[in-house]
Amino acid sequence: MTFIRFVVGTNQERARQQTGVVAELRLLKESGDLPDYEHEHVAELFAWLNDHLPCPPFSSAEWPEDAVSWFKPSAVEFIARFREIITILEEHGRFVRTLTTTDPGVIRYEDEFQVVTSSWKY
């Protein structure tokens, strides 16, 4: 199975130093650099993700610092929504990379659409 992850940063940066796209979009939104119409779209994207994507129990588990989320191939609709996020980020000068792997690391959480793993590599 090939897993997919989207990160903000160039291929010159170490993967562990890059930011996930949801966190980066939140930072962009909080920066005040988004026009009003994009604030509404971002709010809709976040609401949809909160309603549909299972949330790993980050607050109730001891997560290693290097824990990152990867989509499974079955997450087609979620990946499509993330591509909307990527479009917004790229329009605001954020470089987004798509990472794929068959070995994302030690699986700490898993549901139908995603895994959260830890790995020295990512």
pLDDT digits (tens, 9 = 90+) for 66-83: 788 999 999 999 999 999
Q: How many domains does the chain have?
A: 1
- Give pLDDT tens digits for 12-50: 666 667 888 999 999 999 998 898 889 999 999 999 999
Residue 63, phi then psi, degrees to nearest 5: -95, 135
Predicted model pTM? 0.86
Q: Which helix (H) or strand (E) covers residue 88, if one does?
A: helix 76-91
> How confident is the model over 51-79, as a mean pLDDT?
86
Q: Which domain holds residue 67?
A: 3-118
